[in-house]
Amino acid sequence: MTLATPQATLEVVKKFGLRLEKSLGQHFLIDQNILNKIVSSAYLSKSDVVVEIGPGIGTLTQSLAQRAGRVIAIELDRKLKPVLEYTLAGYDNVSVIFTDALSANLRHFPERLPIPNKLVSNLPYQIATPLLATYLDNFSELSLYVIMVQKEVADRIIAKPSTSEYGSFSVKVQFYCDVERVANISRNVFIPPPEVNSAIVRMKRLPEPRVHVLNRDFFFKVVKAAFWQRRKTIRNALLGSPELKINAERVGSALISCKIDSSRRGETLSIDEFSCLANALW
């Protein structure tokens, strides 16, 4: 059964009387070419254990199961249980876990499932940013992410300093990964079509974080403070941060040490400058 067509998807929707939940980001892919692009970008082999977030009716799940050794799909909507039992009936290397992906522990799945080494997913738009931030911080075993996300999120992932898309999330992702946009995707390849276009992004985790920091949590607090009020200078942004609680002398000394002009805005700082500044403040 090939699900990545309008006819096949609508047949499954009708068969099970599905009411698609916009609140859960349920938009089903109906383009086989896009599906192939996602899967081929993940360089899968039978040695890979893939985690997929939000399998929906199993369209991407089927293709992953054909390439990977094991697929673990995490789905929040239990109403999809009979659907996935039907569409994935022929795949004995797929396990579906009904839980909240944001709180799931990839190291402690039920049934003693193996720890995944890749994440390949059409991520539900509503959770894409917090999920990626959480997984990057907590699951170093994931060496590769191939994700379809809202184009705006993709723009933020790959953004460079001094652009409007560059922010704390950009720094977070690039601290851990090399990133690239694989393709931009039209909203018209989904049923129902979302209100925005999408993009496929590949994130390859670095063996070590991109920069050396003395304290990772403090580094991210400094980054967050710099973007908290984008129009403020880096000096005033750091001084105004309720999380950092540092005085003017300490901020001034750190800026001088890192040769950063105090009148610059946080959005102009590179990840190397952020690491220097965080280490000096620490």
Contacts of 170 (CB under 8 A, 6+ apart): 156, 157, 158, 159, 160
Share of the chain above pLDDT 70, in %: 98
What are 118-133's pLDDT values in tens digits? 999 999 889 999 999 9
28-29 and 190-191 strand pairing: antiparallel
Single-letter residue type at 95: S
Q: What is the mean pLDDT of residues 182-203?
A: 95
Q: Is the pLDDT of residue 271 over 90?
A: yes
pLDDT confidence tier of residue 17, bands split at 50, 70 and 90: very high
pLDDT of residue 112: 87
Q: What is the mean pLDDT of residues 270-276?
A: 98
Mean pLDDT of the chain: 95
What are 202-225's pLDDT values in tens digits? 999 999 999 999 999 999 999 999
Q: Is the pLDDT of residue 146 over 80?
A: yes
pTM of the model: 0.95
pLDDT confidence tier of residue 22, bands split at 50, 70 and 90: low
Backbone angles phi, psi at 69, to 5 degrees: -75, -40
Contact 244, 228 (CB under 8 A): no
Q: Cα(16)–Cα(132) distance, rounded to whole angstroms?
A: 31
pLDDT confidence tier of residue 53, bands split at 50, 70 and 90: very high
pLDDT confidence tier of residue 111, bands split at 50, 70 and 90: confident
Q: Cα(224)–Cα(6) distance, rounded to whole angstroms?
A: 42
